Every structure is written in C-alpha cells, then in structure tokens.
C-alpha cells in the first residue's frame, strides 16, 4: 500500500504540472519524495513544547474533522523538490527572488494544495478516512508567537517526523533532494509502517550543525536574517511577506513571491551536503 500511495502522489504531480494550460510557467518540481509517520509518534506531542501549545496533534485534527478518533493511522508526508531551471534562475539573484521562483511559490503551492485535496479523495475512494491539516477548520496561522510566525500544523515538522529530512541553520528542512522544495501532508486512518529516521540528530543534514562549517546561507540573505545564532523569523517574515511582494508582485503577476535566496546557491540546495554517509 505504501507503494500505491507513493505512486498516487508522484503521478498526480507529473500529470498536473505537465498541463501548460494550467501551469504555463511550469513544470516546477522533480519527482516527489514520500514518507510516513505514525499518527501516535510521540514527536507530534513534543511539538507543543517545541513550536507552541497551539500546535495540534494528528489525533486532535482527526477529532475536529469527524469527532471520532481512529484506532491508528498515518501522517503521509511529501517533499516536492524544486527543479533545476527554477533553482538556477534564483541562484543569479541577490536582492529579490526570480520570476520563476515566485511563480513556483504561487502556482507550485497551488498545485501542492490540489495534491492535498486529491490524496484525501483518493484515500476516501480507496476506503480510508483522511484530512489535510492545512484545510482543517482548526488550522490557524499566527504572525507573532514566541517562536515567530507559526501555525497549528507545521508541514516541515511533519516531514521531519516522517524521516524526510532534518532542520537547518536557516530554519528549513534539508532532504535528500535538498532544501529547495515545497512540502505537504495528509492524515489518514490507513495504518502504514513508519519511515525510518535513521537515528540522525534533528539538524544533522546541515553542515553548520554537523561540524561547524559552511554558513553559506548567511551571506545569501539580503536582510541579515540568518547568523550563526540561527534564523530571525521576524526579520525574514517582514521581508518575505512585506518588502518582496511590494517590490515584485505586480511585475511578476503573482500574489505570493517567496524569497528562497538562502535556499539557492548554497551547498544544500539540491542534496544533503558533505560525506557520502549523509547522502
Ligand atoms: S547553507 Fe550550509 S549552513 Fe546554511 S543551511 Fe545549508 S548546509 Fe546549513
Ligand atoms: S527566505 Fe530570504 S529573507 Fe528569509 S532568511 Fe532566507 S534569504 Fe533571508
């Protein structure tokens, strides 16, 4: 069944983004990576401390959706790796993201949303209950928490639980296909074997966290939001949701622009940097 779920995700992305009518500036993504976490993985409970007590567990989301909790289940997570033409276009930029990067942020994320809905329907037709946390009535985003901008469900933290990558100096997730990606998840009562996390530390894929080297993302940030002390989410958020859209939204013809300068032209852009052991 894991093979069928993975194929359903990969086929949907391949087919949908091949439609030039719907995505004239696509395709945006390479073949998705897919991982699985148990509904009852204790990590989800620990996110209430790590992110904030507003962060919901899969069971809380299920209860809000249908009122009935399943006996068990799975959080299905995916990574949509941003493809080489899009990443290349952003590598050349120093102040604002490229047009193609911004189109990936708006149209590629719309496609990611379609995938969430498609997978929920696909699972329902296959005989399982499912929901997309992003579309739960309990999903909420907060601009200003003690940890900065955060929501009731973190797609990145779910992907970490599903063994798809580890965190980085700039607060992103470095996966086997790199740091430049969009990610998503769906919760279901279909019970599947969880993916291994390989015993890695929470940030082992990042060179700085692994051995104190690198820091390339620091120099890529035009507003100094990254330092060896970490990522200043407020400063980054002001730039990504304020300055950048004000400067290029109209010119590019998209509402959401992203930024991603610190995810391109860096050693972790398209893979796990360093020794083959970490590849
Ligand atoms: S550029 Fe280097 S320090 Fe920054 S996230 Fe990537 S591996 Fe870590
Ligand atoms: S997304 Fe942009 S503003 Fe935010 S940390 Fe990265 S380079 Fe800086």
pLDDT tens digits along 233-245: 999 999 999 999 9
CA dist 26 → 80, 201, 261 (Å): 13, 35, 20
pLDDT for 275 equals: 54
C-alpha distances in Å from residue 106, one per residue of 102, 160, 203: 6, 24, 28
Q: How far is the CA of 167 from the centre of ligand 1 (A)?
A: 10
Specify the pLDDT at position 67: 66
Dihedral of alpha carbons 183, 25, 239, 113, sign: negative
- Pick from 18-22, 156-160, 248-252: least confident: 18-22
Burial class (CB in 10 A: 0-12, 13-18, 19+), 177: buried
234-262 mean pLDDT: 96
pLDDT for 20 beyond 80: no
Q: Mean pLDDT of all residues in the chain?
A: 93
**CB contact at 8 A, 168 and 217:** yes
* Predicted confidence (pLDDT) at residue 87 exceeds the cutoff of 80: yes
Instruction: State residue 24's pLDDT score.
Output: 84
Ligand 2 lined by 162 (C-beta under 6 Å): no
Backbone angles phi, psi at 134, to 5 degrees: -60, -25
pLDDT for residue 23: 83
Which segment of 96-110, 167-181, 196-210, 227-241 scores lowest on mean pLDDT?
196-210
Torsion of CA 170, 134, 258, 149, to 10 degrees: -50
User: Rounded to whole angstroms, how far apart are CA atoms 198 and 74?
Assistant: 19
Cβ atoms of 167 and 160 closer than 8 Å: yes
Ligand nearest to the CA of 166: 1
- pLDDT of 256 above 90: yes
> CB of 208 closer than 6 A to ligand 1?
yes
Show the tokens assigned to 91.
Answer: 């590598």
Q: How far is the CA of 265 from the centre of ligand 2 (A)?
A: 13
């Amino acid at each position: 069944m894991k093979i069928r779920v993975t194929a359903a995700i990969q086929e949907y992305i391949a087919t949908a983004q091949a439609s030039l009518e719907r995505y004239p500036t696509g395709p945006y993504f390479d073949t998705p990576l897919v991982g699985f976490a148990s509904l009852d993985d204790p990590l989800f409970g620990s996110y209430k401390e790590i992110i904030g007590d507003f962060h919901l567990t899969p069971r809380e989301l299920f209860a809000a959706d249908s009122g009935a909790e399943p006996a068990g289940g799975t959080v299905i997570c995916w990574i949509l790796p941003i493809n080489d033409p899009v990443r290349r276009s952003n590598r050349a930029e120093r102040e604002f993201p490229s047009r193609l990067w911004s189109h990936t942020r708006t149209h590629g994320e719309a496609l990611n949303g379609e995938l969430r809905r498609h997978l929920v329907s696909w699972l329902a037709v296959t005989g399982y209950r499912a929901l997309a946390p992003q579309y739960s009535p309990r999903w909420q985003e907060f601009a200003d928490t003690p940890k900065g901008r955060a929501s009731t469900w973190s797609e990145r933290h779910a992907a970490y639980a599903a063994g798809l990558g580890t965190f980085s100096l700039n607060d992103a997730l470095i996966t086997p296909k790199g740091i430049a990606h969009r990610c998503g998840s769906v919760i279901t009562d279909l019970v599947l074997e969880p993916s291994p996390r390989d015993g890695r530390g929470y940030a082992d894929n990042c060179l700085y966290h692994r051995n104190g080297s690198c820091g390339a993302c620091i120099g890529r940030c035009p507003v100094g939001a990254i330092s060896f002390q970490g990522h200043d989410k407020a400063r980054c958020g002001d730039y990504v949701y304020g300055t950048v859209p004000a400067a290029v939204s109209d010119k590019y013809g998209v509402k959401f622009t992203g930024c991603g300068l610190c995810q391109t032209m860096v050693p972790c852009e398209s893979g796990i940097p360093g020794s083959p052991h970490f590849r």
